[in-house]
Amino acid sequence: MFRRLLDEDVRAQFAELRENIGARRTNILLFIRNPVEHAASSYQQSIKRNGNTGSMESWYRDEYDDPHVAAELLEVFANNPDVNLTILNYSVCKNDLMECVAQWLQVPAEVFEHPPIETVNRSMTHTELELQRVLNRKLGKSGRLLSDKLCNELPDIRPDELYPPVAIQQVMLDRLETAMDRVDEFVPAGHRYSREIRVDSSEPVEGPMTIEPRQIAVIGESLGNEISRLEQSKTAEETTSAIESANKKMSEIHRQTGSVNEKLDELSATVAALKKQVRQMNRSPWARLKSRIARKMRG
């Protein structure tokens, strides 16, 4: 959402909407998140939702850039008199998120309805993550087949806390330092970026992985349903192709039959013309004389 606000056309639409509803100022609540934990979460999302097949190390080292996005938004909105920008750290208030948002909206927290399940869109285990990466390599973006099913149907599975080696985490923090310093100037003291390194995690390593029977059941059912769907789709495609081929053959037969019919019509017209000529000849004086002579000779 906030990345879209960097687009001038989107901001123009935003300003037009504000004018249409008669709002004098726009209040924007922007959540930042501590980079090391956020990069881990966004890496998983890139595999679940966007078909990413890259490694966690490359994601930390080269790709994660949310602090840069936040800094760019500050350049756009921080000094805009029509915008009141509030920045909070999700990592700080994620356990009291509704209360934080309610306070910003100046409404009681009770106005929010709690979701029916406690865990929504959980992170994946190491095994689930690697399975989804393999599927992405073969099928492209395919989270609906595996990660969506696992996370939605088994929300209570405890995910692994996966982070790259400490040195890679530090490389990312060094790369983002200038952007984080810029954002921290506009953030309340208790909500500024943490440069914490995670050393209490399970690094993604080569070796045996574990999986529960219920995970296998979900995976088997999902992939089985997809294979069945593809087989039915293939059968339908083959049937459609056969029908199209039959229609082409019928059209060719009709075309050939039409050509024969045209020739028969031409021949019938020729015969009719000849018959007409014969009748006319039979009615001529010479024909009548020949007929009388023939009758006398027979008599």
Domain residues of the chain, as ranges? Answer: 4-211, 237-298
What is the pLDDT at residue 9? 86
- Predicted local distance difference test score (pLDDT) of residue 145: 93
Mean pLDDT computed over 5-9 = 83
C-alpha dist (Å) from residue 172 to 183, 186, 292: 16, 22, 124
pLDDT for 82-122, tens place per residue? 888 999 999 999 988 899 999 999 999 888 887 777 777 88
Q: For 26-85, write each residue's pLDDT tens digit.
A: 888 999 999 999 999 999 999 999 999 999 999 999 999 999 999 999 988 888 888 889
Average pLDDT of the chain?
85
Percent of the chain scoring above 90 in pLDDT: 51
Name every residue whose Cβ is closer than 8 Å to that of residue 74 and which is 6 or more positions away in sequence.
Answer: 85, 182, 183, 186
Give the dihedral sign, CA 57/62/67/73. Answer: negative
Amino acid sitting at position 149: K
The pLDDT of residue 78 is 81
Distances (CA, A) of 280 to 100, 270, 275, 292: 110, 15, 9, 17
